Structure formats: C-alpha cells, structure tokens
Chains A and B, each alone.
Chain A
C-alpha cells in the first residue's frame, strides 16, 4: 500500500556561474525561506528534513552540516542527508513519509560547482583503482558515450544540435536559467568540436545553485495546496561502475525505473530530463519512450543550468510547479548521477482531475 505523497511547493535560486560573495549558508537560506513560505509552514511544522550535496564540491568535510544553520534546526529536528543530488534526498523523504507517522518533509539541495576544478573533482567518483588514477574528466567521458551513439547509427550531430537549440531557446522563458539564447541549428553545426565529437554548446554550463521542495502526504497536502502534484510513481536504478560493462548508447536503468514509476500508458504534458550533455537527452527519451509531443525540457533542462547535486531535484520541481500552477496535468521528471548516466531516478507526477 503506497501512501499518497505530493510536492506542494518548489523554490530555486537563479543559477549563476559562480557565487563569489555569499557562502553556502547565505546562498541557501533564502531558498529555504521561500519554499516554506510557499507551503505556509515554519520549520517546526515540518516532520522531516533531508538534503543533498557533496563535500567534494566545496572541498570541506561535513560542509552540509553547517548549512543547517540556514534551516533553523532548533528545537532539534528529524534530519538526514544524502551525498547525492537532491532528487535522491526527495526519495528518502518520500520513503520516510510512507511510514505513516509524519505528514510533511522539506527537501533541499545546493552546490557551488566552481570552488574546485569541477571536471577533475568529478573523476573522484570513478573506480578508484583502475579509472580515477587516470583523471578522466567528465566531458571526455560524455564524449566517449557520444561517440558510441554516433558509431551505432542511433543519432547524428544534427540531432544533438536540435536538442541544444531547443533547450537554450526554451531557457529564454526561464528566469532562473544561466545560459539561454536563440541560435540556428546550422550555426551550431558549423562550430568546431571541443572534445570531439562534443561541441562546447553540447555541454552544460558550470553552475552554482540551490533548490528545495516541500512534500506533504494525503489530506495534509490537500489542506496546504489547492493543486498538489501527486507522486504517482518513483523509482531509481543503478548500473555497474565499470564503463566497459555498459552499453553506453542506451540507459537500461532509466528504462527500468521509468517502467516501475509508471511512465507508459498515458501522454505527458511535460517531461523534464536531467541530461547534462545534449546526446544524453536522446538516450533518455528513448529509454522513457518520449516523443516530440511530450514537451521535453520546457525549462531548458541541464543545458540551461547544471548546478551539481541540484539539477535533478530541480527537474522534479519544474514538473511539480506546472501541475501546481494548473498548466500541466501529468508529467515525468528524471534525475541522473554518476558518469554517462550511470544512475537514474524517474518520478511520475499528476494533478487531481478538475
């Protein structure tokens, strides 16, 4: 028996290349205040708090503990943290609410991607014996995946340009986007590769950011929100660490998570996919069976802003906000973690029929 749990509020900060004035606490605090205000709750009315971030990005051990200063955890609160994207913090909170003794949860995530050398920092998540000592950077790994995709004949560079042009054009309507422009696909294809076969525009910007959602269960959600975005299904799957064990041209974990979350069956009004590199959107659309009519990444997705540990939860928030606003009835949100789409989480959200 699954308990009905909904996203009832979402907030995010405008994404920036580098926040060089505020520390993480000062940067995150307004987002926490914003999301609680949207839900009409103060911290003491929230049953469970869970955050996502990683100390590797800030270069400080247990840095996430200090950000609780911006939450106000006094009197002591029930709290947890995942060293992952906030989407997985949301999963933990969803499981916690399934237990039935709590009705509300605050989920937040933040990162400064820029304090350290991001491409090298990310190499620390790889197999520590055989791969990490080679320091392969994140763009090169995505380029390996892209080369596989091209070689298999599953996509063309023109397909990548279509993803990029559409995403960055969509981002022009997203006030929180960091990178937005309107450029013709032919112009994009005329550019030289950066890490062949990836061009610079196929890659995400480096972003600092933060986002947060409030979850509420059952009647509490209906009390607090006119149109809760109900989580109809949520599932996450992981693939082997060794890149050589995986077919990089498909995402078996996304396909399975999507099936378990109930993606098939009815059309989507909105799909937000966490595809940091443009070819990955094609792999994800294939894995989830999404077509051109499914309104993929109206926010611009991770190509518009890619704050590490945040971009996944923001995908869930972008879908949920459209349901809360009444502009969408049903949507799917996807979050990824690890190199070349190693781990994937899929959430299906729905509004109440009007």
Chain B
C-alpha cells in the first residue's frame, strides 16, 4: 500500500491499535409449546418428554421429531433414573464457570427416553465415572423448584448394576 502523508497536526500522533465498541441487545425468548411443557414440568419436580408418532420419546423436546420432522403428539412423564451413555471430565477453568474442577458432564439416557439429557454427574469420584453407570436425579428443595433445568442439581450413581448402553441412533436403518 502506498504511504499516506498525514496532515501536520496528526504527524507523530500515536496510532490507534484497537477500538472497543460494546454492544448489548435484550431478547425475549419464546420457548414454544413442547419446551414450555418440559420447563413447567421441572417446576413440579417432573421430567416430561414428548412422544413422536414413530414411538420415539425425546427430552428435552422442541416439539418435533428430529428424524421424521413431524410434531410430537404425547407428553410422557419420565422416571428420574437413567444410564450414562457418555461423559467428559472438565479439567479446565473458564470464564463464568460455577463448578469446582475437575467435574463431570454427562449424557444421561433416562429410562424410556430416546434422547440423552446433558447434566452434571456428582457424588462420584471422577475416576469412577464410566459409560453404563446407573444414575438418578438429585433435585433442589421443593421451595426452590422452578421452570429451569437447574431444578435438578445433578445426577448421582443410584447403586444399580450397570445398564446396557445402546448408543442413541444405533440400530437405525434406512
């Protein structure tokens, strides 16, 4: 690029190396019919999934079967126990983290559901966490229940023998 000759008044002025332009926008989120049912269920201490016409049960659901692209048709009150189908141990601190490291995030396939739910695994040393672990939900006190997944504090081992793990989507044929 050609050199630019600055006006005398600007010669020797320190270069601008960065600009900061803060932006903040507020949004009102519409959860939708199915997710509203799920969130309201949590406020009552329930985990509500949605059954699709093909028979699959999704939790949490956005109101559609993501394989078939059709509306879910039935609300299903799911048990609060399930099997760990995958997990990761978080050893890295990051901004906004509320947990003491190391901790475990897990994908929990609730009994009767076809879509694993993500949540924390606690009351279990990280080295003992393994795929197949049977876990149960630990809820906040009844007075603190609300329409949020934080109504469940975490999942913990429930002492049952390991479950048989079928990876979600395995066995689907086309």
Binding site for B on A (CB under 8 A): 19-26, 29, 32-33, 43, 58-60, 66, 68-75, 112, 114-117, 120-121, 124, 128-129, 132-133
Contacts and interface: CB of A to CB of B under 8 A. Distances in A.
Contact of B67 (A23, A32, A72, A129): A72
Contacts of B71: 26, 29
Contacts of A73: 66, 69
A120 B68 CA distance: 37
A114 B33 CA distance: 18
Contacts of B174: 74-75
B30 A22 contact: yes
A135 to B, nearest CB: 9
A32 B65 CA distance: 14
Nearest to A57: B27
Given A72-B65, A74-B68, A133 B33 contact: no
A23 B27 contact: no
Interface of B: 19, 21, 23, 25-35, 62-71, 172, 174
Nearest to B169: A74
Given A22-B33, A23-B63, A58 B68 contact: no
B64 A25 contact: yes
A244 B143 CA distance: 59
A26 B32 contact: yes
A116 B69 contact: no
21 contacts: A19-B30, A20-B30, A21-B30, A23-B35, A23-B62, A23-B63, A24-B32, A26-B34, A32-B69, A59-B25, A69-B62, A69-B65, A70-B69, A71-B69, A74-B66, A74-B174, A115-B28, A116-B25, A117-B25, A124-B23, A132-B23
Contacts of A19: 30
B33 A74 contact: no
A54 B146 CA distance: 31
Nearest to B62: A25
B49 to A, nearest CB: 15
B25 A29 contact: no
Contact of A23 (B32, B66, B69, B70): B32
Given A26-B34, A128-B21, A132-B21, A115 B29 contact: yes
Nearest to A112: B30
Q: Which of B23, B25, B64, B65 has the most chain A CB within a 10 Å cutoff? A: B64
A11 B32 CA distance: 22
B33 A58 contact: no
A112 B32 CA distance: 13
Given A25-B32, A25-B64, A26-B62, A117 B69 contact: no
Given A25-B64, A70-B69, A133-B19, 20 more contacts: A22-B30, A23-B31, A23-B33, A23-B63, A26-B32, A26-B34, A59-B29, A60-B29, A66-B62, A69-B64, A69-B66, A70-B64, A72-B67, A74-B67, A74-B172, A112-B30, A115-B28, A117-B26, A121-B25, A129-B21
Nearest to A43: B69
A85 to B, nearest CB: 20
A115 B69 contact: no
B19 A129 contact: yes
A25 B25 contact: no
A284 to B, nearest CB: 30
Nearest to A71: B69
A111 to B, nearest CB: 13
A24 B172 CA distance: 27
B67 A26 contact: no
A58 B70 CA distance: 22
B66 A68 contact: yes
Contacts of A74: 66-68, 172, 174
Q: Which of A22, A32, A124 has the most chain B CB within a 10 Å cutoff? A: A22
